Amino acid sequence: MNPKLEKHLNIAPEVAKALAEGKAVVALESTIIAHGMPYPKNVETAREVEDLIRAQGAVPATIAVLDGVIRIGLDEAALEKLGKAENVAKLSRRDLPLIVAQKGDGATTVAATMICAAMAGISVFATGGIGGVHKGAENDFDISADLEELAKTPVAVVCAGAKSILDLPKTLEFLETRGVPVVGYQTKQFPAFYCRDSGLDAPLTAQSVSEIAGMLAVQQDLGYQGGAVVANPIPESHAMDKAEMDNVIASALNSATKDGVFGKAITPYLLGKIVELTEGRSLESNIALVKNNAVLAANIAKDLSALN
């Protein structure tokens, strides 16, 4: 590793050992801990997700910036600190260097997690849902940096599709333009986070973990610079009704407009408002889909490690 890069990274011993031995490692983001759920549910969920990955025979690597150091894998104390802390910076590509230079604390979004995972040599990442093109982007150009990152950083993102609050047709169109594979896992429909079916077709479909791992291995062999989206529908037991969620999201968006919320504050605001409007049911759905994605990511990482 480049010494200049190494001085900014702290790779947990469990993760470093797995990487050195060519074993399966799954990256995890930290915005879900710092900005996505209330304490202590956030820390409990983070631990449960890590345990699920270990149970599949892979190693979890939750990523965050603490005291200006990019941490690849968090111990119990670090998880607690991140889960309890207030005003933790939300880090995307543009924010990461400054927070590191300022010796600050930050939780990584999908984009920043991909960047840090790639630095450490991790190829598979599990999250809830990717960011995308926001509704009304034709007026304010609000497009998540996640999409550009997927086009240039070679990390596969296992998710429940894109967040339901987004303009999903435009999000898929953007990913197509940038050449990012979007693969529905055992589904021909593109999932929409809380809902199994967005009403849109998944551009590609794979029926098995081995197919997805094989695709990722070929991407690596061919020297592709970008990543991939593995769209894994939320389990049926926790899926929410699409018509109900459409109404809830419309209400949440109206509230955001009235409250003057925009930019990178919009997603955590909307997710919080949706939890309120669904009386907590959306939070349970969020937790279920994250766990589901973690299990799939661990199995993809295992198959991919066997091919490398």
Question: What is the helix (H) or strand (E) element at residue 61, kind and residue range?
Answer: strand 59-66
Q: Which of 29, 81, 264, 302 is catalytic?
A: 29
How many angstroms separate the CA atoms of 216 and 212, rounded? Answer: 6
Q: What are phi and psi of 132, to 5 degrees?
A: -170, -155
Burial class (CB in 10 A: 0-12, 13-18, 19+), 3: exposed
Cα–Cα nearest to 287, from 47, 56, 76, 107:
47
Active site residue 135: no
- At position 88, the amino acid (one-letter code) is V
Distance CA 86, CA 202 (A): 38
Query: CA 66 to CA 73: how far, in whole Å?
Result: 11
- Quote the tokens at residue 151: 């086009």
- Tokens representing 253? 């968006």
Catalytic residue among 81, 90, 163, 302: 163
CB 286 within 8 A of CB 36: yes
How many Å apart are CA 249 and CA 271, to the nearest integer? 9
DSSP 219-267: HHHHT--S-EEEE-PPPGGG---HHHHHHHHHHHHHHHHHHT--GGGHH
Residue keyed to tokens 């631990």: 47
Torsion angle (degrees, nearest 10) of CA 285, 287, 293, 296: -110
29 carries an active-site annotation: yes
Residues classed as catalytic: 29, 163
